Amino acid sequence: MSPIPPAATPFDLPPGSVALVGAGPGDPGLLTLNALRALEAAEVVLYDRLVGPGVLALANPQARLVEVGKSAGNHSMPQEQIHALMLEHARAGRRVVRLKGGDPFVFGRGGEEIEYLRAHGIAYRVVPGVTAALACAAYAGIPLTHRDHSQSLRLLTAHSRDGVDALDWEALAQERQTLAIYMGVGALEHLRERLLAAGRDPSTPFALVENGSRPEQRVVTGTLDDLADTARAHAVASPALLILGEVAALATQLHWFGAAPLGPLPAGTALPAEQLLARAA
Ligand code: SAH
């Protein structure tokens, strides 16, 4: 008997179709059952760099695994080539899984990919995944909304076609809301300046969650005023999600996974040079 309970509707990946599948943030336990079924049915898996090895290990052992990884500032395969690969494999009659970190429709270019498939007459399905904001918050012990602190949540990216300047900073600087900022590691000083200029309190707490849900997860906390300095002092690197808002302070009390959150280092100090180098390697 299968250890996996039957789905309400069986997951069906016909030959010549593409399933756009969310792989979640890294911990394979955060895959949905439909994502697992799609991986088991796949003949080709086109996966992003952010997808963890534990997730890939669950794919059909006969499937061809192709990395089409891209990260901000490091586009190893242009989007057009990813489109062409999906089309080539689907037209050859293969069952294709396009596997993306987190959720395919949250800063994942999933929309562009299914527009392309539709335009070329290829059947597709979409399997949602646990997006980084939800996973990082849960694994850092940060409730994204809280009756006492925050009534709304915004997901935004600091990396877009028009850059951060296209965002409505007045609205983003309002209190009692939580910002979950994707791909922000390279733009922290800019984010800080914009939010302060738009009136956000410099003492607003933040948490940077690096490698959320993975064994190497780190959480770095501080206040908006020291955001860029603290991140630099701890050499926070991508993938990391920035959570900004009153709720971020709760990580200090409510954390449960991995190491306790790291705070600002005393002025003028930083991690020892050899640690910084080891992290950059
Ligand atoms: N579709 C993905 C987001 C892709 S954009 C999703 O829904 O999660 C890539 C950005 O997501 C990274 O720069 C980082 O900000 C965030 N991210 C993805 N996985 C992460 C993880 N395990 N820990 C922290 N941030 C993560």
Share of the chain above pLDDT 90, in %: 81
Q: Is the CB of 35 under 6 A from ligand 1?
A: no
106 C-beta closer than 6 A to ligand 1? yes
Residue 48 has pLDDT above 50, yes or no: yes
Beta strand extents in 39-150 (DSSP E only)? 44-47, 64-67, 70-71, 74-75, 96-100, 124-127
Q: Answer yes or no: do 123 and 146 share one domain.
A: no
Identify the residue whose C-alpha is closest to ligand 1 atom 9. Answer: 183
Average pLDDT of the segment spanning 63-70: 88
- pLDDT value for 158: 84
Answer yes or no: do 29 and 114 share one domain.
yes
- The predicted structure's pLDDT at residue 102: 97
What does the pLDDT read at residue 72?
47
Query: How many structural domains compose the chain?
Result: 2
List the residue whose alpha carbon is closest to atom 25 of ligand 1: 240
Last residue within a domain, chosen from 111, 130, 149: 130
Together in a domain, 86 and 207: no
Q: Cα separation of 272 and 165, whole Å?
A: 35
Q: How far apart, in whole angstroms, are the C-alpha atoms of residue 194 and residue 23?
A: 33
157 and 225 share a domain? yes
Nearest atom in ligand 1 to 48's CA: 4
Q: Please report which confidence band the pLDDT of residue 74 belongs to, taking 50, 70 and 90 as the band edges.
A: low
Asked if pLDDT for residue 34 goes beyond 70, the answer is: yes
Is position 169 within any domain?
Answer: yes
d(CA 29, CA 105): 20
Residue 215 lies in a domain: yes
Does 141 lie in the same domain as 256? yes
Q: 122 and 144 share a domain?
A: no
178 and 251 belong to one structural domain = yes
The answer on 178 and 237 residing in a single domain is yes
Kindly state whether residue 99 falls inside one of the protein's structural domains: yes
Same-domain status, 118 and 213: no
> Do 65 and 81 sit in the same domain of this protein?
yes
Q: Is there a domain that residue 125 lies in? A: yes
Using a 6 Å cutoff on CB, does residue 134 contact ligand 1? no
In a domain, 257, yes or no: yes
Q: What is the average pLDDT score of the chain? A: 90
Cα-Cα-Cα-Cα torsion 252, 255, 258, 262, nearest 10 degrees, comes to -10
Write out pLDDT tens, residues 103-130.
999 999 999 999 999 999 999 999 999 9
Residues spanned by the domain of 188: 133-262
Q: Do 42 and 159 fall into the same domain?
A: no
Least reliable range by pLDDT among 207-216, 223-232, 268-277: 268-277
Per the structure block, which two tokens stand in for 101? 């970190």
What count of Cα atoms within 13 Å lies in the side-chain half-sphere of residue 272? 3
Mean pLDDT of 155-175: 84
The model's pLDDT over 87-109, given as tens digits with 9 standing for 90+, comes to 999 999 999 999 999 999 999 99
User: What's the pTM value of the predicted model, to 2 decimals?
Assistant: 0.91
* 111 falls within a domain: yes
**CATH number for 252:** 3.30.950.10
Mutate to test the pocket of ligand 1, among 241, 242, 244, 257 (most ligand atoms within 8 A of CB): 241
23: CATH: 3.40.1010.10
The CA 92 to ligand 1 mean position distance, Å, reads 32
CA distance 25 to 257: 14
Answer yes or no: do 124 and 148 share one domain: no
